[in-house]
Amino acid sequence: MRADLLETARSLAIPLSRTFEEALEKRVTDGKAARWREENREWIAEYNAFIAEHGVFGDDVRLF
């Protein structure tokens, strides 16, 4: 860990544990989303191809 960064954060009264927890939560959330996209990549591609060919449900009756 960078000592200078840690010292500056302390001098600015930045709550380290809270900051770490928030950063870790974001990284975990992003990692889980990336894993889900990768695990479902084929299904997403098939769904997108279906929509490109057939459109979405109710496309022919919507008013906008």
* Chain segment 45-56, per-residue pLDDT in tens: 999 999 999 988
**What is the spatial distance between Cα 1 and Cα 4, in angstroms, rounded to a whole number?**
9
Q: pLDDT value at position 15? A: 97
9: DSSP letter: H
Q: Where are the domains of the chain?
A: 3-54
pTM of the shown model: 0.68
User: pLDDT tens digit string along 16-37?
Assistant: 999 999 999 999 999 999 999 9
